[in-house]
Amino acid sequence: MSETNAYFVAVIGAGPSGLFGARELANQGARVVVFNRDIKPGGLAEYGVYPDKHKMKEGFRKQFRQALANDNIIYYSNLTVGAKGDFTLDDLRSLGFQAILVTVGAQSSKWLGLPGEDLKGVYHSKPVVLAYNLLPPYDEQKFDLGKRCAIIGAGNVMLDLAYYFIHEIKADEVIAVVRRGPAEVNFTKEEMTRSIANLDLDAFEAEMKRVTPALQAVNQDPEVGRNKVLAALPKAEPKFGDTRFRFEFLSSPVQMIGENGRLKQLEVEDNILVLKDGELKSRGTGHKRILDVDTVIFSIGDKVDASFGLPSDSNEFLKNPNPRYPVDGLSYEVFDPNTNATIPDVFIGGWARKASEGLVGYARKDGTNASKAVWQYLQTLQPTTPNLEGVAAKLKSLKKPIVTKDDIKRLEAVEAAEAQKRGLEEFKFATNDEMLQAMGLNVTA
């Protein structure tokens, strides 16, 4: 089929922001090629959202299938884009792509740089979550998870991990170590309903009593925090097993203490709250305590992968503060400090624009808005003849199996049949090779 003239756009990453961004551009009439690292589309909606949320995940998958069904979208996966990827951004430019939308998410982990982070038993949430969601190759990594776990953080991911330690690890104790107070927790009531029945309410009240003077010192009514944490009680899901779930508020990790390379204890420092620039921040008091735990999971957010090759600061790609095409007042453009200017043809959206920000609905909106900025930029150019042959030739030269939309349909059918055969709600192959074989692709191509 000969190609008619159209704007020719590459979207890097097929998480929610990339898929909805691609759909927006395709609906405008652009010819869009989506390049994705993971074989399956969906990003963290597929590999982050907790595995037993079947209905939610299936709902997302349905929307992703609909987006990918658009004839203006081509999907290639099992490849990477980036400075050290199968395609560099310059490769894409020389193939004739007129704009590049980067929606690769936030692939690196934030660490605090504390002593003991390298001990066995100390992990970041991301690889643990990706492993229990069966994303190759993370699912082949071995984690030494024990029965007394401290999770550092106060968001929904902390709660997902608490749920995992209650239901799968069947831990004796899960402690959420929270830098600020109960009123500043970041998780939703809905997520808390899943684990609140395991919350040790006596321990919670004792903890409230311990931190009340610090809350009152900033004129905070302790009831605000108490109500926020306990709001999930009326809709609590049934208690599971004997895991005791509790909070350590106003506490920051100081160091992990080990023996023979394995974690034995976590040292935390007590905090007070201080008002700074209109926001309540934590400040260490110097008073330290020891928690006897055998596992520490840092659930403090992700950061972008600096090796992708776009200019970045410690956590995020650099955005042009004065965008040419702002959408809802936000910048979707990358700023290059070397040239002191925007990189004209590169745009960012979703978690690649703002790491660990919001849920799937947010990523969807952000990817769509990023595409609106891309579309405005394209209006300054002439449509072109999309060089699909050139892209196909480059893919062939990679000498590895490349996955297309039709392959994904076959994989989904095989996995659905396997789930039915095994009487499971859902079945996922655990390795890329198994997925490629199920799609009938030559693993060593």
Ligand X SMILES: Cc1cc2nc3c(=O)[nH]c(=O)nc-3n(C[C@H](O)[C@H](O)[C@H](O)COP(=O)(O)OP(=O)(O)OC[C@H]3O[C@@H](n4cnc5c(N)ncnc54)[C@H](O)[C@@H]3O)c2cc1C
What residues line the site for ligand X (CB under 6 A)?
A: 12-18, 35-38, 43-45, 48-49, 53, 80-82, 85, 103-105, 107, 129, 157, 160, 308, 350-351, 358-360, 362-363
CB closer to ligand X, 105 vs 121 = 105
CA dihedral 308, 311, 314, 315 (to 10 degrees): -60
> Residue with CB nearest ligand X?
15
Compute the distance between CA of residue 284 and CA of residue 251 in angstroms, rounded to an integer: 8
**Nearest approach, Cβ of residue 55 and ligand X (Å):** 11
Compute the distance between CA of residue 422 and CA of residue 443 in angstroms, rounded to an integer: 25
Compute the distance between CA of residue 386 and CA of residue 388 in angstroms, rounded to an integer: 6
Contact residues for 30 (Cβ-Cβ < 8 A; gap 6+):
6, 7, 8, 9, 72, 375, 378
CB closer to ligand X, 35 vs 204 = 35
CB closer to ligand X, 45 vs 199 = 45
CB closer to ligand X, 76 vs 375 = 76
Opening angle at CA 63, ends 39 and 308, nearest 5: 40
CB closer to ligand X, 100 vs 157 = 157
Evaluate whether 116 touches 257 at the Cβ level (below 8 Å): yes
CB closer to ligand X, 174 vs 268 = 174
Among candidates 188, 187, 156, 161, which has minimal Cα distance to 175? 161
Compute the distance between CA of residue 411 and CA of residue 415 in angstroms, rounded to an integer: 6
- β pairing state of 99-102 and 341-348: parallel
**Nearest approach, Cβ of residue 264 and ligand X (Å):** 27
CB closer to ligand X, 203 vs 395 = 395
Compute the distance between CA of residue 53 and CA of residue 132 in angstroms, rounded to an integer: 13
CB closer to ligand X, 280 vs 398 = 398
Phi, psi of 320 (to 5 degrees): -70, 115
Give the Å distances, CA to CA, from 95 to 90, 108, 383: 9, 29, 14
CB closer to ligand X, 7 vs 47 = 47
Evaluate whether 103 touches 34 at the Cβ level (below 8 Å): no
Q: Which amino acid is at 250?
A: L
CB closer to ligand X, 36 vs 295 = 36
**Nearest approach, Cβ of residue 290 and ligand X (Å):** 29
Compute the distance between CA of residue 431 and CA of residue 414 in angstroms, rounded to an integer: 14
For tokens 């692939």, what's the residue? Answer: 107
**Nearest approach, Cβ of residue 419 and ligand X (Å):** 21
3-state secondary structure of 350: helix
CB closer to ligand X, 323 vs 367 = 367
CB closer to ligand X, 181 vs 367 = 367
Among candidates 14, 76, 67, 10, which has minimal Cα distance to 45? 14
**Nearest approach, Cβ of residue 293 and ligand X (Å):** 21
Backbone CA torsion sign across 348, 352, 358, 362: positive
Evaluate whether 254 touches 268 at the Cβ level (below 8 Å): yes
Compute the distance between CA of residue 88 and CA of residue 304 in angstroms, rounded to an integer: 17
Phi, psi of 333 (to 5 degrees): -110, 150
3-state secondary structure of 292: strand
**Nearest approach, Cβ of residue 179 and ligand X (Å):** 19
**Nearest approach, Cβ of residue 181 and ligand X (Å):** 24
- β pairing state of 173-177 and 148-152: parallel
